[in-house]
Amino acid sequence: MIRCILPSARAAFAIGATICLLVAPAVHAQRLPDTVLPEHYTLALTPDLKTATFSGIESIDVSVKEPVNSITLNSAEIAFQSVIVNAGGKEQKAAVSLDAEKEQATFTFPDKLPTGKAILSIAYTGILNNELRGFYLSKTERRNYAVTQFEPTDARRAYPSFDEPALKATYDVSLVVDANDTAISNSPVATDTPGPIVGKHTLKFLTTPRMSTYLAAFLVGDFQCSTGEQDGVAIRVCATPDKVALTPYGVEVTKYVLHYYNTYFGIPYPLKKLDLIGLPDFEAGAMENFGAITYRETDLLLDAKTASADAKKEVALVIAHEMAHQWFGDLVTMQWWDNIWLNEGFATWMENKAVATMHPEWNIEESVATEESSTLNLDAQPTIRAIRAKADTPDEINQMFDGIAYGKASDVLLTVENYLGAETFRKGVHNYLAAHLYSNATAEDFWGAQTANSHKPIDKIMESLVAQPGEPLLTFGQPAHGKVSVEQRRFFLSPAIEPDTTHKWTLPVCFKTASGSQDCRLLTPKDSSLKSPEGLFFANAGGKGYYRTAYPASVYAALVAKVETGLAPTERISLIGDEWAQVRANKASVGAYLDLVTAIKADSSAEVLRSALNNVNTVATKIAATPEEKNALAAWLRSTFAPEYAKLGLATANDSANTRDLRAELFAVLGYYGNDPGVIAQSSQIADGYLADPGSVDPTLGQTALYIAARHGDVALFDRLQKIFETSTDPELQSTALRLLAEFQDPALVQRALDYAVSGKVRNQDAAFQLARPLQSDQTRDQTWQYIQNNWDKVQAQLTTNTGGRLVGATGSFCSEASRDDVQKFFSSHKVAASGSVLTRAIGSINGCVELRSLQEPNLKQWLAAQSKQ
């Protein structure tokens, strides 16, 4: 399943990053017995889109490992009509007992079932729910659709099943649907016949490969598709009829990525077809169902002529992510959810490789470096988990889909690949996949394959990074005579936390050489020094190592002096991230960080500038506490970056992708935190032109201008955006318009935006975001929080089982002890499903902000005062 929904880079600058959803663990393990195992499912489903129900006829071929009187499998929100077993030449009717808490059904038989083969025959009914999980309704103004989302533990809501990833089986699926509708499942259609109900037809699909329950997919409606073919595989990108014109871009990306993966893995995509389907209601970003990948519309559908670079990049990355899962996750699946990183970390790592090759002008490596720095900040929090952690219950399993499983796991793979070399690592990946086709694997299986192939201690490196929480800080001494001292310890953002001295890692440390290459050395827990090359000393060549660094003052000064000439863009991003981490830990002053930002103000890389300014965002919102401080910081931003913006001049058709990004990044900081009157006025003009004709304006700048214009916008702009959201068929423009309603600062318009979010006119997949966004702004936070408390019944009605955690997480944007206490008190009496750990992290974030402000605000005042005298 794709990573948490994140705004674009410049939108994140404006509203803050969305926190990955974490949920509170339940108490009891809910694993199934291992006495009966599935081999094959035959499913015939008949959904009724008007009554929001469905009926199912199911048979499960099972293998009975020892004589049993009962069979237990998973089931939720299912009503059983009959359950019969055929085993040992005898048919028996089962008594059915349900355990709603464990989401299990037990079938008990009069006589024991003998060891060997048996067939369960089940007739049942279920509901097409509104919770965006299981078999659920997705709606447009014109009609309903029946669609599925099963990962991690919701296949049991569509069909009684052995709903655990290691219990793989093959499937024969039939869907009985209205005569004018079609259906999509994992395999191609085998037959399409009228009936058996008048006005219906039955689509029967070819038998699937062996796969886990959560990878099945059933989609019913009037979907229309664009088609293509690559390497003998039929490709379709599908959508509702009004959006089918936005599917061709997805076809082209899919064709490229499929060929890239076939070549890279050395194992061809195993199915005859690959469908990608955009759904009107979808909680996650996308889902890697084997051969039938489902997407939120904004992550698949766009108009290539008018879409922003961010939108094109995001769609390409999401497509590549889910397609990587066809190998990592579908073809080879983790044995259990504690190793979900084997799915998500690999898919995140692979998406970047594929898209970087397809679009080198997008500088994906630099974006990866920025994301790694963000992940390191996440991993430096006190309550963070290890990559591999206990997960038995559905709540514990859902907790695993976070920035650690996606970001940290991907970064660890990047670290190891960089150490081994790309081709050696690729061969290890191939060997791992080839050894576990259509089966399951563990972390040990992967790093064992890499160790055997490379003859290097990858098992020790990866185990230290996967099994332990947190990250290493490497503190270097003064290099001399080809050696440098180094001390490693666990790093925390909070200076109040003393790390456990027993936390040590085995790490490849790659030094930058005078020739621009790297010299990698293995640091073990026992090492206190390493060999180092001559020249400019930088201990994270390429910015690909998963660790923070700290240098002596003279070494750091030398790096800053040569930051633009001696370091590559990814290395500059790494240095920026490490210095900001030192500020957070109170080992460096915020003034020193802003001096570093000054040193890279003319950087030619948009991503380097973005990485630096992301932290300036935090200075503006978390450290600057008074209007005077915010105004002084804005003045510095204008004096520093307005000349750089002016140098770029007006946008032209010949601008590179990087130049467009750089112009938009400078425009954003000047308009959003620099309060530049000229930029604010210009944003209104650009936004007006962009809304009137998206093709008339550079879409990257147009989207950025819209955020600034909305922040200073009036009722006329609000009305215009609301109309676009309600009438546009372009998912990017529509979702942008909705997000912007939460950007307005006028209290009356803030009230309108909040009322609209809970009005029922905003899909419940989006409502929580619309309430979370204004919580992340200084100007609207208090009003929004008061609204949420005063209108809790309306707010709660918009939250699905999972989206409530996003709203709770956004309260972490407060920065006072009084607000922290208020948040704790409110949610202690207004419980939100699946949000216990999110609340803990939000409280930790508030405490971290209070600490950061108390330590660094005096430094900021002093630095700003010095700037005003220059």
Amino acid at site 581: A
Quick check: helix, strand or coil at residue 468? coil
The distance of Cα 656 from the centroid of its chain, to the nearest Å, equals: 28
* Residue 161 · residue 196 · CB < 8 Å: no
Which phi-psi region, left, alpha or beta, contains residue 89 (left: φ > 0; alpha: ψ -120 to 50)? left
Contacts of 460 by beta carbon, 8 Å cutoff, 6+ apart:
506
Q: How many CB atoms lie within 10 A of CB 595?
A: 13
Give every CB contact of residue 759 below 8 A, 6+ residues apart in sequence. Answer: none
Closest to 728 measured CA to CA, from 337, 298, 367: 298
**Residues with catalytic roles:** 322
Q: Which two tokens stand for residue 815?
A: 């920065």
CA distance 856 to 805: 30
Contact 82, 122 (CB under 8 A): yes
For the chain, how long is the longest CA-to-CA vector?
94
Partners of residue 531 on adjacent β-strands: 483
Give the length of the chain: 870
How many Cβ atoms from other residues are within 10 Å of residue 84's Cβ?
A: 16
Q: How many of the other CB atoms lie within 10 Å of CB of 160?
A: 27
**What is the crossing angle of helices 443-454 and 422-435, to 10°?**
130
Question: How far is it, in rounded angstroms, from Cα 609 to Cα 442?
Answer: 39
CB contact at 8 A, 341 and 542: no
User: Dihedral (C-alpha) 326, 330, 331, 335: value to the nearest 10 degrees?
Assistant: 140
* 153 in Cβ contact with 144 (< 8 Å): no
The DSSP letter of residue 32 is P
Q: Residue 648: CB partners within 8 Å, gap ≥ 6?
A: 659, 662, 663, 666
What is the spatial distance between Cα 454 and Cα 728, in angstroms, rounded to a whole number?
53
Contact present, 386 and 467 (Cβ < 8 Å): yes
Cα(680)–Cα(500) distance, integer angstroms:
49
**Backbone CA torsion sign across 812, 818, 821, 827:** negative
Q: Is 341 left (phi over 0), alpha (psi -120 to 50) or beta?
A: alpha
Give all strands (DSSP E) within 771-855, no chain letters: none
Cα–chain-centroid distance for residue 477?
A: 37
For 784-810, give the DSSP string: HHHHHHHTHHHHHHT--TTTHHHHHHH
d(CA 291, CA 271): 7
Cβ contacts of 782 within 8 Å, gap of 6 or more: none
* The one-letter amino acid at 753: A
Across 7-128, the runs of DSSP E, i.e. the strands, are 36-48, 53-64, 68-74, 78-87, 90-93, 95-99, 104-113, 116-127
Q: Which amino acid is at 642?
A: A
Closest to 402 measured CA to CA, from 691, 19, 54: 19
Owner of token pair 């000349």: 643
DSSP conformation class of 3? P
* Six token digits for residue 391: 């997960």
The tokens describing 518, both together, are: 């790297």
